[in-house]
Structures are given as structure tokens and as C-alpha cells.
């Protein structure tokens, strides 16, 4: 196997210093307090879909400062209560097709799949971002933590839990969050910022240890950050300060629920050391599934493990391997 990043023996103990600013906690307390004051203004529309045993809906709700967030919601037939799951998608992607979520409904979960604001799904982004940016979303608003793009994204994703908990057929005491890549990063952020998830399953997460990721990544989207700094080198200190507020390495110590994570040791988009920098800061029950021969790709063998963890933590079944 070609050695791309640190050897595994070093990754498992890799624990760089946090880059939190002095007002890090206050920043997120203020952000969440403001969000809590805003109504969801939710709308629910049934979607005709040829699947037996469930009902499919399209959901809209208000996110951070005027964003209108769109999601799929699939509920098993029957009164419930059902454990709930929220799925977050990868960078530049969308909530994908309804069919992708039928296996979870078949297993007795109510599942919500959220479109990230302004990316290729149906969620809007009305924010004004000062200072210019390069392609993509990594540098939108990066001159000020108050206006940074991912601040709004993280809040939108937390508010998905608000909507899911409002559903009478959902057991709000048994909620899980999950996603791959950007979706994995959003999973970590939500688990850190909210106590309602009792399980987080991030896969090869993005948005972790930005400085290391920029040094190591071979392919976008982390490369958007050095592209921006080549254009505005005088803003470097400001950029790193802004990014620190949304770095999951800094948020990870706040996570209290069990975490099942994956890493690909040949991942040149989300470098293994950036993933471990966040993982090694989690003090909750956790497990890292290591895929030595995977680049930045879904590990199909991981589906069985996810099901076992979901059944154990969300349904109370004895499904974890000994």
C-alpha cells in the first residue's frame, strides 16, 4: 500500500493542539440562541412514490437567517414511534433520490435527508458574503466568522432535528445523524452542537483540521482555500481565524454521543490525519473503522456495521459485534 499520510501507528495518537479562539464557546452559544428564537415555518407535502410500506414527503423549513431548507422525509407505515435518522450529503451534492433511503425505512427508521443550502439541491441561500471568494463554498464569507458560509450550514443541519422532533411518529429520544465526506463533517458538527443525537455515524469526514488538510489534500475542495490565499495573501491570518470556528477538530470535544467513524488510508481529499485529528478529540464512546485500500469513497462493507450500530443505539438491540 503506498504511504500517503502518516502511518497508522502515528495516526491513532495524532492529537494536534486545538485552534479555538478565546470566544469560540460564546460564538456558538450566540449562534444557537439566535437560531432557537426563529420559527421553523415548516411545510410538508406528500410525494407520490411507488414504494410499499412507507410514505414519502418533501419538507421545507426555515434555516439560518432566511434560508429555505428542503429535505426528503420517509416514514414507515404505522403509528410508531420510530427512531429517527438525519442524513447529510457530500460537498456540492444533494439529498439524492428517494430510493437511496428505502433500506432504512425497511429497517423501521423514519429518515430525513437534507439539502445543504446553495449547493446542487433545492435549499436556498439568501446570504450576502462580503470579501469575494473562489470557486465553491469553502471561502464564502471567510473574512468574518459572523458571515462565514458554514456557520449557516451547521445551523440549518441542527434545525433539521427541530423538525424531526416535531413529528408525532418519531421517537425524539432515539435520533441518529450520519453522512459521508461533507455529510460526515456535518454529522460531527451537529453531534457537537446539539445533545439530541444519541448516535453519530460520520464516514471519511470533511471539515476537520483545516490547516493539516490544506497541507495534505491533493484534490479539491480543500484546495479552494490556498486558491483564495494566492489571490489575497494578506488575508491569511483572518482566513485561518474564521475557519477555526467551524473546524470539527475544535468542535469534537463537545460530542457526547457514541460515534462510529471511517477513514480511508489512501484518501487524498480528506487526509487521514485530518480525520484522526477530530476523532482523537472525541471523549465519548467511539470506534474508527479503518479501510487501508480506500481513497475517498464509500466502503460498501461498512453498511453492515452501520446497521448494527443503529439497531443497538436507536432500537436497543444486541447487534454489536463482540
Catalytic residue numbers?
181, 267, 296
Closest Cα partner for 247 from 218, 274, 271? 274
**Structure-block grid coordinates of residue 95:** 439529498
CA gap 193, 282 in Å, rounded:
13
CA gap 270, 251 in Å, rounded:
17
Contact 81, 164 (CB under 8 A): no
Taken in order 294, 12, 19, 88, the sign of the CA dihedral is positive
**Structure-block grid coordinates of residue 164:** 424531526
Helix (H) or strand (E) holding 304: helix 302-315
Closest Cα partner for 128 from 118, 114, 116, 113? 118
CA distances from 25 to 20, 214, 250 (A): 9, 25, 10
CA gap 230, 100 in Å, rounded:
40
Amino acid at each position: 500500500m503506498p504511504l500517503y499520510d502518516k502511518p497508522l501507528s502515528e495516526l491513532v495518537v495524532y492529537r494536534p493542539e486545538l485552534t479555538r479562539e478565546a470566544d469560540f464557546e460564546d460564538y456558538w452559544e450566540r449562534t444557537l440562541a439566535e437560531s432557537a428564537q426563529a420559527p421553523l415555518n415548516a411545510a410538508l407535502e406528500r410525494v407520490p412514490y411507488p414504494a410499499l410500506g412507507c410514505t414519502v414527503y418533501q419538507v421545507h423549513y426555515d434555516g439560518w437567517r432566511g434560508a429555505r431548507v428542503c429535505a426528503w422525509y420517509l416514514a414507515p407505515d404505522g403509528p410508531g414511534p420510530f427512531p429517527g435518522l438525519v442524513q447529510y450529503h457530500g460537498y456540492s451534492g444533494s439529498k439524492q433520490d428517494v430510493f437511496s433511503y428505502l433500506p432504512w425505512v425497511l429497517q423501521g427508521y423514519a429518515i430525513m435527508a437534507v439539502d445543504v443550502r446553495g449547493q446542487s439541491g433545492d435549499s436556498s441561500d439568501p446570504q450576502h458574503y462580503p470579501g469575494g471568494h473562489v470557486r465553491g463554498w469553502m471561502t464564502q464569507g471567510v473574512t468574518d466568522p459572523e458571515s462565514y458560509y458554514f456557520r449557516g450550514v451547521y445551523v440549518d443541519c441542527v434545525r433539521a432535528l427541530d423538525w424531526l422532533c416535531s413529528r408525532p411518529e418519531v421517537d425524539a429520544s432515539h435520533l441518529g445523524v450520519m453522512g459521508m465526506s461533507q455529510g460526515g463533517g456535518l454529522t460531527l458538527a451537529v453531534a457537537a452542537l446539539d445533545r439530541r443525537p444519541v448516535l453519530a455515524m460520520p464516514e471519511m469526514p470533511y471539515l476537520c483540521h483545516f490547516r493539516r488538510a490544506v497541507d495534505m489534500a491533493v484534490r479539491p475542495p480543500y484546495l479552494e482555500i490556498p486558491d483564495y490565499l494566492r489571490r489575497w495573501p494578506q488575508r491569511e491570518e483572518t482566513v485561518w481565524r474564521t475557519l477555526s470556528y467551524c473546524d470539527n477538530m475544535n468542535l469534537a470535544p463537545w460530542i457526547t454521543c457514541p460515534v462510529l467513524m471511517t477513514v480511508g488510508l489512501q484518501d487524498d481529499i480528506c487526509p487521514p490525519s485530518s480525520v484522526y485529528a477530530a476523532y482523537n478529540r472525541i471523549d465519548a464512546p467511539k470506534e474508527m473503522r479503518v479501510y487501508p485500500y480506500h481513497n475517498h469513497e464509500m466502503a460498501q462493507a461498512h453498511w453492515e456495521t452501520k446497521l448494527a450500530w443503529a439497531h443497538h443505539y436507536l432500537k436497543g438491540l444486541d447487534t454489536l459485534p463482540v
